[in-house]
Amino acid sequence: MKFGIFHELSVGKPWTPESESNVYHNALDQTVLADQLGFDQVWAVEHHFLEEYSHCSAPEVFLAAAAARTERIRLGHGVMVVLPPFNHPARCAERAAALDIISKGRLEFGTGRSATWTELGGFRCDPDNTKDMWDEAVRAIPKMWTQETFSMEGKYFSMPERAVIPKPYQKPHPPIWVAVSSPETAIQAAERGIGCLGVSIGTPGEYEQRVKDYRKAIRSAEPVGDFVNDQVNGVTFLYVDETDKEAEVWGTKLAYNFAYLAAHLIGISSVYPTAAYKTPGLLFGLRQAPKGERAPGGGGVIREGMGVGSPQTVIRNLKMWEELGVDRMLFILNAAESVPQEKVLNSLRLFAEEVMPAFEGRSDSSIRGAAADPALPMP
Amino acid sequence: MPDHGALSEDRVAHTGPVPAPLYPAPPWFLPGARILKIMFETDKEPVLQWLPPKLTRSSPPYGTITVEDYPESPVGPFTVAHQFIGCRAGFFIRGFALQSVVSDPIALSALREVWGFPARLGDVSLATEGTVVRASVSAAGSLLCSLSLEDSEPIGADTARFDPSLTLRLVPSLQENMRHDLIQLMQIDPDVTIADAVRGRGAVEYPAASPWAVLPNRNIIAATACSMDTELPLARFVMPY
């Protein structure tokens, strides 16, 4: 199993003129260290208007800065919202290709459709249509990358024939993913031959069936791109310290603050009656934890499988994910800077020294060129 | 020794007067209800002004108005309208009851005294014609709010959502320099069994002088109308203010 980090860039109140800058630069420093320590991916979300929870509305800028300061780590859009009211699909293709060039082929292209009224309402985007919008865009963008010119008369966007440039550095194109927070989307990812980017903070038990369904469905994928990306990523919190007791203090602060900020957003399924959003998405998994559920010695928000504890505890927890067939775990390192930066960096170092060696295949976590190593051959 | 009275606490009515309450004790079962619910984005300032300190606002702030027609209840038919502030109690989505109007004086007493709704007596109408649902809320001869849902279309009953309400349980004080002898937050969390549900284009309008205009409608989020069996239950939680 491999490991990556996942940035929301949450900025807690009270805000000062330096608050956002501190969060951005702390996250960049974490990324530089993660690159040096052998983490193989860094992901940055795209969220809009989610005050405190995520101030990462221009992830391509953050990731470009990360590209300039790192050597090996792959750079993930976790995700780019590919809905035309947010981002015209041609602009998505252009920006992603530019980032792939700047990073010399290190882009992982995550796609998604947003799960909050705060964002969809902000762009006057009808929640009923987002799945179809996403589908149209995720099929169009690989063609923009691989065809000399592209034209489209779609339901949600259209454009006359144009050369969408630049083209990605990776040939034929970067690996494509979709944010998955429901069983249905896991299967839809597999059917399209794209990676399963788990974005809900659940337990291994909650992911188990989803991973099985994805693995089964991807055998008959009809890929939207030129190859199948069959990787499964999960996401959880990371705080490692010498003892469980010390780790739980800071891990609980991290998980609690993340969940508390998330609770103040307006999830689509909580306000808008639609069959298009059956689950609350990334935001609300933690607060649905049954009362008193906790990992050994953990706080109320510390759940089974989280990367919180001593190295031995974290190894034990992450092995659960490995046994499910999850290829990579991504870690949320901080929330509203509730963990001091030096402790975050020490946690990363301790993880690299004492946890990473316990996982097989970590030595393969170097840059994985999409064309050089397609997960499955073209049908 | 003088003889002591024998009225044990368990024999005292749930509300005064002691032997003859105006209304039966909860829960009240409310079959065949029709409810129009409209959610809308609103301003931050009034939301913060009117939320108790234990509650926090969402981002963006929003309000909800429900207009409810109960053809059957333990006190007979009545209609009621509530204006809620969408809020969070810790991690949880709640609606804090800001203002209510109810058509029946006995229901008014119960909603105030038992369930803590800030209710006043008035007229609440709810009517459906084809694909349009219209409602109005008035008190003391003045229109407070008019609402509509147009171009209704059926939706799955499982997509309609009703969040628990938070109300204030108040016991006024007769002691000098004391405003309340008791002030608590209550969570009212009715079960609902939805028979059918529609959604459509919602509208909320207030006359300029209406006290309900305290939560202006800045952007409609969703409008739904449902037929359901529901209840006014015992409080799920009672919390210190």
Residue B213 lies in a domain: yes
pLDDT given at position A281:
56
Alpha-carbon span A196 to A321, nearest angstrom = 14
Q: For chain A, percent helix, then strand, then coil, each to nearest 5?
A: 45, 15, 40
Residue B121 lies in a domain: yes
The string of DSSP codes covering B157-168 is: GGG---PPEEEE
Residue B221 lies in a domain: yes
* Chain B residues closer than 8 Å to A121 by CB: 41, 60, 219, 221
Crossing angle (nearest 10°) for helices A341-350 and A19-37: 10
| Residue among B62, B91, B197 whose CB faces A263 most closely | B91
**What residue numbers bound the domain in which B57 lies?**
23-165+191-234
Give the CA diameter of chain A. Answer: 61
The string of DSSP codes covering A159-188 is: EEEE---SPPSSSS---EEEEE-SHHHHHH
pLDDT given at position A12:
96
Residue B173 lies in a domain: no
- The ranges of chain A with pLDDT < 70 are 279-300, 361-379
pLDDT given at position A294:
44
Q: How many CB atoms sit inside 10 A of residue A163's CB? A: 11
pLDDT given at position A55:
98
Alpha-carbon span B137 to B96, nearest angstrom = 19
pLDDT given at position A361:
63
- The residue whose two tokens read 């903070």 is A201
Along chain B (241 residues), what's the average pLDDT of each consecutive run of 10 residues? 88 82 94 98 97 95 98 98 96 96 97 96 98 98 98 95 95 92 95 97 97 98 98 94 93
Residue A372 lies in a domain: no
Residue A298 lies in a domain: yes
Query: Across the interface, do A266 and B59 touch by the CB < 8 Å criterion?
Result: yes
For chain A, how many structural domains are there in total?
A: 1
Query: Across the interface, do B222 and A271 touch by the CB < 8 Å criterion?
Result: yes
Give the residue from A10, A52, A117 with the most B CB atoms within 10 Å of its CB, the best one to mutate. Answer: A117
* Chain B residues closer than 8 Å to A47 by CB: none
Q: For chain B, percent helix, then strand, then coil, each to nearest 5?
A: 10, 55, 35
| Residue among A51, A273, A286 whose CB faces B155 most closely | A273
Residue B147 lies in a domain: yes
Residue A375 lies in a domain: no
Q: What is the CATH number of the domain that holds B148?
A: 2.40.400.10
Q: How many CB atoms sit inside 10 A of residue A319's CB? A: 15
**What residue numbers bound the domain in which A207 lies?**
2-364
pLDDT given at position A282:
52
Q: What is the CATH number of the domain that holds A81?
A: 3.20.20.30
Alpha-carbon span A319 to A324, nearest angstrom = 9
Long-range contacts of A363-367 (CB under 8 A, 24+ apart): A364/A2, A365/A2, A365/A3, A365/A38, A365/A39, A365/A40, A366/A40, A366/A72, A367/A72, A367/A74, A367/A105, A367/A106
Residue B225 lies in a domain: yes
* Chain B residues closer than 8 Å to A52 by CB: 59
Query: What does the pLDDT look like over A181-197, one tens digit per residue?
Result: 889 999 999 999 999 99
* Cβ-contact A83, A112 below 8 angstroms: no
First to last CA, chain A: 27
Residues whose CB is less than 8 angstroms from the CB of residue A98 and which lie 6 or more positions away in sequence, other chains included: A60, A166
pLDDT given at position B60:
95
* Chain B residues closer than 8 Å to A271 by CB: 39, 62, 86, 161, 221-222
Query: What does the pLDDT look like over A49-90, one tens digit per residue?
Result: 999 999 999 999 999 999 999 999 999 999 999 999 999 999
Residue B15 lies in a domain: no
Alpha-carbon span A97 to A164, nearest angstrom = 10
Tell me which residues of chain B have a C-beta less than 8 Å from any C-beta of chain A. Answer: 39, 41, 56-60, 62, 86, 88, 90-93, 155-156, 159-161, 163, 197, 199, 219, 221-222, 224
Q: How many CB atoms sit inside 10 A of residue B177's CB? A: 5
* Cβ-contact A301, A286 below 8 angstroms: yes
Cβ contacts below 8 Å, chain A against chain B, sum to 63
> Of B214, B206, B68, B72, nearest to B145 (Cα)?
B206
* Chain A residues closer than 8 Å to B39 by CB: 271
Give the residue from B35, B152, B158, B159 with the most A CB atoms within 10 Å of its CB, the best one to mutate. Answer: B159
For chain B, how many structural domains are there in total?
A: 1
**Pair of tokens at residue B210:** 């209406």
